[in-house]
Structure 1
Amino acid sequence: MDEDSLVRAVGLVKRFGDFEAVGGIDLDVRRGESFGFLGPNGAGKSSTMRMIGCVSPRTGGKLSVLGMDPEVDGPKIRARLGVVPQQDNLDNELTVRQNLQVYGRYFGLSRAHLREKATELLDFAQLTDRADDEVDPLSGGMKRRLTIARSLVNDPDLLLLDEPTTGLDPQARHLLWDRLFRLKQQGVTLIVTTHYMDEAEQLCDRLVVMDGGKIVAEGSPGELIDRYSTKEVLELRFAPGLQDGVPPLVEDLADRIEILPDRILLYTTDGEASLTAAHTRGVQPLSSLVRRSTLEDVFLRLTGRTLVD
């Protein structure tokens, strides 16, 4: 195994009875990168993360984490991981600072070291002024930042984040992205699962798109957009039932079109020109929007549905 490869899977499979959650995927996560799994709920992202985190045995294939086999060296691997689960599992009966210090004791760290480490992590998470408060009254964003701070208490070689910003408001999400970006700058290797395309574009150097337990595409966000979409997208929105006759009028104005229940998407190099041409042909949508292509457009191209379906 390459020493710069922290996680490597070949033909990795996870089954629950007759259900195959992960269907023979290959991946290679390199030291110092931020690697993402993008896909809808049920795509197999969390099942893959649980195998990497050594809390769920693989059904088939090969998996190496930090140069070790999770089935043989699970405790050694877990000692070097930081894990941020989908749902915060903080101890509400302890203060913010105590959550960090008590968790650190599971790794055998000294109380003196943990006092210093907790102060450092509270500053990182922007929670210094809440250090002696109980956890329960904290906002969702604060609890999420505390959960991430807790995952760093053992100075992990690899940080696993499963849907890190689900349920947070936009301001809290952006603050969390800033904290994760700082970790990335410090050389921490991140593996992130998300169904938010903007999050994947913000955080990931490289990612895989998953659907139905399979990897359907791999690359950087920019590479995937260049490969599977166009520079711009024109969205034409219509009242229900009023767009049925529109596709034949506009299909030659774009490289391709996608017909969704509430709108028609035209993939083109010049959205404004396509919109002007559509208007000259009598197309009158309720609203129109010209935007750049995103990873959701990539997912739609690959799977025929949006990430939020």
Structure 2
Amino acid sequence: MLSIEDLTVRLPHTARPAVDGLSLTVAENETVGLVGESGSGKSLTSRAVLGLLPPKAEATGKIMMDGADVLAMNRAELRQHRTRSVAMIYQDPRAAISPFRRVGDFLTETIAMDRAAAAGLLETVGLRESHLRNRPHELSGGMLQRVVIAAALAGRPRLLLADEPTTALDVTTQAEIIALLRRLRVPGMLFVTHDLELAATICDRVYVMYAGRVMETRPTGELFRDPRHPYTAGLLAATPRLDELGTLPPAIPGRPPDLLAHLPGCPFAPRCPHVLDSCTAGVPGLVGGVACLRAEELCDERP
């Protein structure tokens, strides 16, 4: 369905690509997670799939959606692509809906449809027909996110891009939205998040990004049971546990590099507890789903 091949995105006045040689696939009936810290390039990747790159951004590689290259599409083709092939759920529903429009107007104007069809969409996401008359300020954040999901489903897209769809919501509402996304019968979904634990609840496979590159990718269960990249292991170790209340989880030292920093080798090397001189000599390739020169060695050292 979706196949990204060696995608590189450069932004103006930066020392390195914001997305650097990324390859990713989403198969039919599959939910794939794209996980990383802020600035990792995950949201830029999802926008590239829509053909919505920032002004003066330069992109190379291929983004193949059902056999068509998004990077080669003209304006008319991109318009069709965004309304019928791919749809986006953004992280802040209040920014996605005009505060001056009623929910019914928002839905019927997004894709030409009558009120009966709009009411059917609201029912699909667990809202009543009466909510068509509401304005955004009259709905909670969770209800508004359901409206945004309904709008994304309006064109019956082949691929749903969920970009941090629960970040602005409380924990209870997060669980409701995740349950809703799992129930939806969408052919494929790319789920973008900074939360590995959240990805585990919905994704079949996960790609872990850092500084524009994929550090590790494997089926979700395998990745959580046995993380092989030091960055993935660090993210999982930094997740708070209910059975360890009162104890702070270990943080990954340092900060992610900004786009003005030139990275000669592995981008995680300055923060990695297992770094060697060879780690900064060249960028490691993705071998066996892991971009780490010491992956096998570190795996053998574990008890």
TM-score, scaled to structure 1: 0.68
In structure 2, what residue type is equivalent to 1:27? L
State the AA in 1 paired with 2:50: G
How far apart are residue 91 of structure 1 and its match? 2.0
Shift of 1:50: 0.9
What stretches of structure 1 move > 4 A for 4+ residues in a row?
A: 232-239, 258-262
**Contact 1:97/1:122 (8 A) holds in 2:** no
Give the alignment's TM-score, normalised by structure 2: 0.69
Native 8 Å contact 1:14 1:60 kept in 2: yes
AA aligned opposite 1:168: L
Note the 1:110-149 alignment, pairs <5 A. Answer: 111=113, 114-128=114-128, 129-149=130-150
Q: Does 1:14 align with 2:30?
A: no
Farther off after superposition, 122-131 or 193-202:
122-131
2:90 aligned with 1:85, yes or no?
yes
Residue type of the partner of 2:68?
M
Q: Take 2:40 and 2:147, find their aligned partners in 1: how far apart are those partners?
A: 28
Percent identity among equivalent residues?
Answer: 30
The structure with more strand, counted as a fraction of residues: 1
Gaps of at least 5 residues in structure 1 are 1-5, 106-110, 240-257, 263-297, 303-309
Once residues 177 and 11 of structure 2 are traced to their aligned partners in structure 1, the CA distance between those partners, rounded to angstroms, is 33
Query: In structure 2, how many angstroms separate the alpha carbons of the residues matched to 1:187 and 1:102?
Result: 22
The 2-side partners of 1:46 and 1:123 are apart by 29
Q: Which has the larger radius of gyration?
A: 1
Distance in structure 1 (CA, Å) of the matches to 2:172 and 2:247:
31
* 1:171 CA displacement: 1.2
Q: Cα–Cα, structure 1 residues 64 and 58, in superposed 2: closer, same or farther, change >3 Å?
A: farther
- Shift in CA distance, 139/46, structure 1 to aligned 2, threshold 3 Å: same
Residues 224-243 of structure 1: CA deviation (Å, up to 9, x unaligned): 1233279x99969669xxxx
Report if aligned partners of 2:89, 2:163 keep a CA contact under 8 Å in 1: yes
Q: Are the structure 2 counterparts of residues 182 and 142 from structure 1 closer, same or farther at C-alpha, using a change threshold of 3 Å?
A: same
For residue 9 of structure 2, give the secondary structure of its aligned residue in structure 1: strand
Aligned counterparts of 2:207 and 2:98: Cα–Cα separation in 1 = 34
Letter in 2 for 1:32: N
Where does residue 79 of structure 2 map in the other structure?
75
Match of 2:103 in 1: 96
CA gap of 1:260–1:7, structure 2 versus 1, over 3 A, is closer
- Asked if 1:199 is matched to 2:198, the reply is yes
Please give the alpha-carbon distance, in whole angstroms, between the structure 1 residues aligned to 2:252 and 2:49. Answer: 38
Q: Give the secondary-structure state (helix, strand or coil) at the position aligned to 1:23.
A: strand
User: What are the equivalent positions in structure 2 for 1:25-64 lying under 5 Å apart?
Assistant: 25-56=22-53, 59-64=59-64
Q: What amino acid is aligned across from residue 10 of structure 1 in structure 2?
A: E
1:268 aligns with none
Partner amino acid, structure 1, of 2:180: R
The letter for the 2-side match of 1:49 is: S
Question: How many residue pairs are counted as aligned between the two chains?
Answer: 233
How far, CA to CA, are the matches of 1:23 and 1:100 in structure 2?
Answer: 36
Distance in 1, Cα, partners of 2:207 & 2:105: 37
Change (3 A) 1:58 1:86: farther
Contact 2:20 2:212 (C-alpha < 8 Å) held by counterparts: yes
